[in-house]
A and B are shown apart, each in its own frame.
Chain A
Amino acid sequence: MRLLRFVARRLLLLVPVLLGVVVVTFLLVRVLPGDPIRTILGPNATEADAAAARARYGLDQPLWRQFVDYLRGLGTGDLGRSIQSGGSVTSELALRVGPTLELVVLALAVALVVATVLGIWSARRAHRIGDHSIRVLALAGNSLPDFWLGLVLILVGYSVLGWFPAPSGRVDPDTHLTPVTGADLLDAVLTGNGPAFGSALGYLALPVATLSIVIVAPLLRSVRASALEVLRSEAYTAAAAHGLPDRLLRRGYLVRAALSRLPALAALVFGFGIGSTVLVEYVFSWQGFGQWALRGLLFRDYPVVQASVLVIAAGYVLVFLVADVVHAMLDPRVRI
């Protein structure tokens, strides 16, 4: 009950933040230099052509009018028409979100598992050689430019070794995968398409590896630090001094306490991952949200920019909400 109230309150708080985001982006894209009409029409278009195009997208209206229309559309889930493609932004968006989420969620899941296992392992051997090597390795991973790491993985995994498919597309078209959610791996499972599952996995391997390597370090550092703090805490010492067996100590007194700070960081890292996908998708020609938003941004495709900014902001805030709920489940001291 309290949980529901907490979630409801946080969702309500989301409204002013998103409204702020909408207003700021709406104004920013229009005020700052750059004209979407010129970019689609090309240099040879006449003034009349441009005016006609403007009218078609409602850009000849006064600013407040455009804003009210936009808000009205938002209310019904209509995010406008892309100036570049002329298609509905809402349906384009629906197509693009799946592949990107698939990438980020998988990468985050891999990173979380690795960070938890290695972080606790590392803390239990604090300041020995294994601990130090793991930390330096994680640090190196964190210092890798993601886009470059992607290129190197392609160079090695595809160009040299040929183990992985070429960096274009997300699943072998010959497997005839029926799209459901847009996330190919999930779709393969939903439609029971075995070959598609294998193929999607192959395509996913390198980009997911790229992302995981880049994001694992902060998670690992946090788990290790928390675990070390628990191990050195009076509470853990007390449990150990009372002769509780190792397994009980680890399960009952270490893991949960050590993970309680992870959710908030994982949410932050999720955002970092979203940022990284823009680059990683670019490198792997992954037809995802990042690519789409980037192109919209570069061509000043107002509706696309506004929609993607809104989606990112809402998604990010929601992820933090989930993180807070998980945190409260892990740590009884947290009141929500």
Chain B
Amino acid sequence: MTPLLSIENLSVVIHRSDPGDSGRQIAALSNVSLDVNAGEVVGLVGESGGGKSMVARSIVGLLPPGSRATGRVLFAARPGAGEQVDVLTMDRAALAGHRGRGAALCFQNPRGALSPTRTAGRQLTDRLTTHQGMALGRAREAARELFEQVGIRDPGRRLDAYPHELSGGMAQRVMISLATGCAPGLLIADEPTTGLDVTLAREILRQLRHAADTDRRGVLLISHDLASVAEVCDRVVVLYAGAVVETGPAGRVLRTPAHPYTRTLVASVPQVDGHPVVATPGGMPLLARAPTACPFAPRCGHADDTCRTQHPATTEWGAGWQVACYHPQAENLAGNLAGSPATQAGGARTATQAGPAGPRPPAGPAAPVPAAVPRTVLSVEDAHVVYRSRFGGGGHHALRGVSLQVAAGETVGVVGESGCGKSTLARLVLGLVRPAAGRVTLAGHDLSRIRGRRLRRLRIRAQLVFQDPIGSLSPRRTAADAIAEPLRAQGVPAAERAGRVAAALARMGLDESILPRRPHELSGGQAQRVGIARALVGGPDLVVFDEPTSALDVTVQAQILQVVAELTGDESRGRVFISHDLATVRGFCDRVVVLYLGRVVEEGPVAEVFSNPRHPYTRALLSSVPSLGAGFAGPRLELVRDLEEADAATGCPLAARCPLVTDRCRAEPQELVGYGASRAACWRVPEMPELLRGGGAGA
């Protein structure tokens, strides 16, 4: 059967025509070939800059200005009929017919991709009337059904909503309905789950699988989330520096990758089962022309002279499995692959179990508690934070009675979905917001009492590492200036500053050539190292990491996580690591605190919380994390609604979403109660094993 889409030797070169760097060109894609069949979900993975979006854009004939494409993008207007048309040679009229009806792109950032001045319903009926020839009244009816199909509650009302009135998850669903509303043969989803919470991400991916299974569409899923791709996709294509390095059955390729780059990628992803990430130094190059050698050779441990001088051709590695490498690796990745016999033999250094979790798992790698009682560097007691709305009245209650202790030498992970108050907690600890009630004690001083110069002095005791590495550096100041800033604020003399900056820099594994650079001249990884160096240079008692890796690419993320993990050995200070991704905190935290809607719902030693979560919310979070490894091993639980639709009025904040909810949950507020080594705010914990075995819980 003819594939729906077959890309043959597609190369895209982009010429940049700014006077500043005239003649500069970028080989965005080099000899890319891939097929997508009807009813099949194909994953396209790789880091940013690898050319994923360029592939998507060339399929719908939307290449950026100044680009030249060679090769063929063959599209079967009627799959199976055998006639294929090259998208690259289509004229305006043919392209207009092809876009939407042939291949429809589902954009990465749904908020940006929905027109702000047209209702969601109109945007959908526009597609329906254009591509399915419906009359307006009929289209509205169909739009309503489509909205319902993609899981939009109350579709009648949402039809008349403007995009800004939709939540992020809702917007993403609308975007999918827009793409499917074109009734395309091929659905291209560009990072559809980026920025969404795990529970929501799963739901969106399910929609895509549904489109392939039920409607026999071809689906091209572009994603950096390897675990989801392994789960959802039939086949996967791995891109590196604009070239296909490996392609094959998704599950097998991602669990037992053969190409060293794919192996690097997989090893860089933190896992909830506690497997440590393996960082590979370096970054992806931006090529000026199609590579004549293996683009991954400089970072590759197996590279030899052949790799550095010749570009490897694609070779068969297994059934439908191809690798572009001279030294494809056969043995399994150490410890990463559950269910594979080599895993255990491969010697996972961690004691973490890969099989079904027992109730009492061995301690994680970073659990030892020092004998002497360590000094408490941070103590938050029953803190409430309210953001007043601009024009009086109400306000947003971001934290509702949070308590937290951090001792010197300890690393505490704070996790929760977006909007649960994680960042507010960081800002509170640093004295950037004042609590409406409660106390924050930092290094023995009550942060909420003091002001002015003394507050400034105290602030130096706690430092923050930001989510956006480049944005947290002043665009007009050099890296040296940025790192030295806490020292300058402390009044450290210039001569001494230079030495301490150099020391902090060395600790981050950066060399001094970076000092005179400005933020836009730094890569994300370098900028984040500068940010960490700045946080450390003044010798603070507490370092708060606020999602320091979420804006970074997978392999860079692994590098930064490794840097952070190395810091955890430092007994002189405490650390708080905030993340929406449970897997990242698993590797190196001692304790973990789970936040939900401004409250702590569970806290305890990391190994305990991850292997034996007490609170339904924690269990649900763990259940929904996609994983290439074993994933969460215990009985799973699924929440019933999106976070945006839940509200915390009275009783348990999770009541609206919890599958185990009873009337008592809705009426009684829940306090943290100790259960074994951890504490949880749920009265049903004692009967939980029973409940999980019985009905009520999603599988």
Contact A332 B162 (CB under 8 A): yes
Q: Is A260 an interface residue (CB 8 A)?
A: yes
Contact B98 A243 (CB under 8 A): yes
Instruction: Count A-side interface residues using an 8 Å CB cutoff.
Output: 23
Our pick among A240, A241, A242, A253 for the contact of B118 (Cβ within 8 Å) is A253
Q: Which residues of B contact A252 (CB under 8 A)?
A: 115, 118, 122, 126
Q: Which residues of B contact A57 (CB under 8 A)?
A: none
A242 CA to B124 CA in the complex, in Å?
Answer: 11
Q: Which residues of B in the span 88-143 have a Cβ within 8 Å of any Cβ on A?
A: 96-101, 104-105, 107, 109, 112-118, 122-123, 126-127, 130-131
Contact A330 B99 (CB under 8 A): no
Instruction: Pick out which of these stretches binds chain B: A203-211, A231-239, A301-309.
Output: A231-239
Q: Is A139 an interface residue (CB 8 A)?
A: no
Q: Which residues of A contact B117 (CB under 8 A)?
A: 253, 256-257, 260, 330-332
Q: Which residues of A contact B112 (CB under 8 A)?
A: 233-235
Contact A243 B131 (CB under 8 A): yes
- With A234-B107, A257-B116, A331-B116 known to touch, is A244 a contact of B60 (CB < 8 Å)? no
Q: Is A311 an interface residue (CB 8 A)?
A: no
Q: Is B164 an interface residue (CB 8 A)?
A: yes
Q: Which residues of B contact A235 (CB under 8 A)?
A: 112-116
Contact A238 B107 (CB under 8 A): yes
Q: Is A42 an interface residue (CB 8 A)?
A: no
Minimum CB distance partner of A248 in chain B = B126
Q: Is B182 an interface residue (CB 8 A)?
A: yes
Contact A241 B105 (CB under 8 A): yes
Q: Is A333 an interface residue (CB 8 A)?
A: yes
Contact B114 A243 (CB under 8 A): no
Q: Which residues of B contact A233 (CB under 8 A)?
A: 112
- With A238-B105, A330-B117 known to touch, is A248 a contact of B122 (CB < 8 Å)? no
Q: Is B620 an interface residue (CB 8 A)?
A: no
Q: Is B179 an interface residue (CB 8 A)?
A: yes
Our pick among B99, B175, B178 for the contact of A240 (Cβ within 8 Å) is B99
Contact B115 A236 (CB under 8 A): yes
Q: Which residues of A in the span 232-284 have a Cβ within 8 Å of any Cβ on B?
A: 233-245, 248, 252-253, 256-257, 260
Q: Is B62 an interface residue (CB 8 A)?
A: yes
Minimum CB distance partner of A238 in chain B = B113
**Minimum Cβ distance to chain B for residue A123 (Å):** 15
**Minimum Cβ distance to chain B for residue A241 (Å):** 5
- With A234-B109, A245-B96 known to touch, is A333 a contact of B131 (CB < 8 Å)? no
A146 CA to B34 CA in the complex, in Å?
Answer: 64
Minimum CB distance partner of B119 in chain A = A332
- With A244-B130, A248-B126 known to touch, is A333 a contact of B116 (CB < 8 Å)? yes
A260 CA to B115 CA in the complex, in Å?
Answer: 13
Contact A234 B113 (CB under 8 A): yes
Contact A241 B60 (CB under 8 A): yes
Minimum CB distance partner of A331 in chain B = B117
Contact A239 B164 (CB under 8 A): no
A252 CA to B119 CA in the complex, in Å?
Answer: 10
Q: Which residues of B contact A239 (CB under 8 A)?
A: 115, 123, 126
Contact A242 B100 (CB under 8 A): yes
**Minimum Cβ distance to chain A for residue B58 (Å):** 12
A248 CA to B100 CA in the complex, in Å?
Answer: 14
Q: Which residues of A contact B109 (CB under 8 A)?
A: 234
A231 CA to B185 CA in the complex, in Å?
Answer: 26
Between A and B, 13 residue pairs with Cβ closer than 8 Å are A237-B107, A238-B114, A241-B60, A243-B96, A243-B98, A243-B100, A248-B130, A252-B115, A252-B118, A253-B115, A260-B117, A332-B116, A332-B162
Q: A242-B105, A256-B117, A331-B117 are in contact. List 17 more A-B contacts (CB 8 A).
A: A234-B107, A235-B114, A237-B62, A237-B107, A238-B105, A238-B115, A239-B126, A242-B127, A242-B131, A244-B130, A245-B130, A252-B126, A257-B117, A260-B117, A331-B116, A333-B162, A333-B164
